[in-house]
C-alpha cells in the first residue's frame, strides 16, 4: 500500500516514526478528517471488508465510514509504516446483548513496548489512543474509562453523551474473515442500528457534531445541544459541513427515507400514548 495519498488526505507532515507520538498524531488527524457515517447503507449500497476499497472510498472518494472501514484503513496504514497492530473482535452493547454482539466492532491494539488501544471507528469516542490498562481519564470535559470485565474481557466506557455507551473486547487477534458474518448481518438485519438510524459524526479538537435521523447535535464542553430538522433544505444545509462529498440526487432520497421513518415512529408513539392498539412489531427507540 502506498500511504502517501492517505497522509496527504489527513494532512500529516513530518517523520513517520513507530512511536506513541506519531500514533497519537495520526489518530487525531484521521478522526478530524474522515466523518463516521453509514449513509451508503441507508441508500442500499454494499460495504465490504476489502482494504483496497477502504482506501478508494475514504481517500479517493473523500467519504467517511463505519468501524470496519475506519479502523481497517487506519490499521493498514499503521502496518505499512511499520507499527505492529492487531485487529480485535469488539462487541458494542455486549454488556446488554451478550456474546452475540462480538464482532460488531473492530478494535485495534498497537504494540509499542506497552499495548495501546487505537479506535478511530466509534464515531464519538476518544480523539486519542490510550494504554491498555484499567483507568479513568478525560479529554477536556469528556470522561472515559477502561476496566476489566468478566473473564478475559476488557470493557471500554464512553462519555455520557456517547451513542455507544460501551464495548467489550479480548486481546485475541482477528482476521478480516472473522468479521464477515457481522459485517453482512449489520447491513441485512432490518433491526440493525445501521438500518434504523442514519448517522453522521464529525470530530475536531473541541467538539463532536453529528446528525442522527433528523436531529442535529453538538457535544461541546461536556454539554449536548440538539436541534430538530424540519425541512429538506435544512437537512441539506446541516449535512453539508459534516461531510466532504456530494450525494447529489441521492440526498433527497436519503432525506425522504429518514423523514418517513421518523414520522412512523412519531405516529406509533402517539398511538401508544393514547392507548390505541399497537402494531405487532416492537416499537423502535426514539432516534428522531
Report, as residue numbers or ranges, the catalytic residues.
67, 105, 119
* Contact call for residues 54 and 65 (beta carbons, < 8 A): yes
Contact in structure between 135 and 154 (CB atoms under 8 Å): no
Q: In this structure, what C-alpha cell is assigned to residue 250? A: 441521492
Give the separation between CA 196 and CA 215, rounded to whole angstroms: 14
Residues in the chain: 288
Among residues 70, 11, 64, the alpha carbon closest in space to that of 41 is found at 64
Angle at 36 between CA 30 and CA 40, to 5 degrees: 130
Across the strands, what pairs with 105?
Answer: 90
**Distance (Å, whole) CA 29 – CA 202:** 12
Q: Are 52 and 71 in contact (CB under 8 A)?
A: no
C-alpha cell at position 224: 449536548
CA distance 188 to 209: 27
Angle subtended by helix axes 250-273 and 232-239, to nearest 10: 120
Pair type for strands 215-220 and 130-131: unpaired
Contacting residues for 267 by C-beta, under 8 A, at least 6 apart: none
Burial of 255 (0-12, 13-18, 19+ CB in 10 A): buried
Amino acid at each position: 500500500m502506498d500511504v502517501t495519498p492517505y497522509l496527504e488526505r489527513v494532512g500529516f507532515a513530518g517523520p513517520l516514526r513507530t512511536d506513541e507520538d506519531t500514533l497519537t498524531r495520526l489518530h487525531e488527524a484521521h478522526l478530524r478528517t474522515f466523518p463516521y457515517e453509514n449513509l451508503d447503507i441507508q441508500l442500499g449500497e454494499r460495504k465490504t471488508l476489502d482494504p483496497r476499497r477502504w482506501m478508494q472510498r475514504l481517500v479517493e472518494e473523500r467519504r467517511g465510514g463505519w468501524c470496519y472501514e475506519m479502523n481497517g484503513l487506519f490499521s493498514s496504514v499503521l502496518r505499512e509504516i511499520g507499527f505492529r497492530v492487531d485487529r480485535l473482535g469488539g462487541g458494542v452493547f455486549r454488556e446488554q446483548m451478550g456474546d452475540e454482539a462480538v464482532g460488531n466492532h473492530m478494535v485495534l491494539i498497537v504494540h509499542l513496548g506497552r499495548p495501546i488501544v487505537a479506535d478511530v471507528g466509534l464515531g464519538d469516542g476518544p480523539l486519542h489512543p490510550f494504554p491498555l490498562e484499567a483507568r479513568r481519564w478525560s479529554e477536556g470535559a469528556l470522561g472515559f474509562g477502561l476496566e476489566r470485565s468478566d473473564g478475559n474481557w476488557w470493557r471500554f466506557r464512553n462519555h455520557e453523551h456517547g451513542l455507544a455507551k460501551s464495548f467489550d473486547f479480548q486481546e485475541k487477534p482477528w482476521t478480516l474473515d472473522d468479521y464477515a458474518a457481522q459485517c453482512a448481518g449489520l447491513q441485512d438485519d432490518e433491526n440493525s442500528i445501521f438500518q434504523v438510524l442514519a448517522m453522521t459524526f464529525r470530530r475536531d479538537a473541541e467538539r463532536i457534531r453529528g446528525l442522527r435521523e433528523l436531529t442535529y447535535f453538538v457535544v461541546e464542553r461536556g454539554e449536548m445541544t440538539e436541534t430538530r430538522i424540519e425541512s429538506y433544505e435544512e437537512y441539506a444545509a446541516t449535512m453539508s459541513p459534516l461531510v466532504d462529498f456530494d450525494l447529489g440526487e441521492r440526498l433527497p432520497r436519503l432525506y425522504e427515507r429518514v423523514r418517513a421513518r421518523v414520522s412512523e415512529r412519531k405516529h406509533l408513539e402517539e398511538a401508544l400514548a393514547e392507548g390505541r392498539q399497537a402494531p405487532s412489531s416492537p416499537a423502535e427507540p426514539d432516534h428522531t
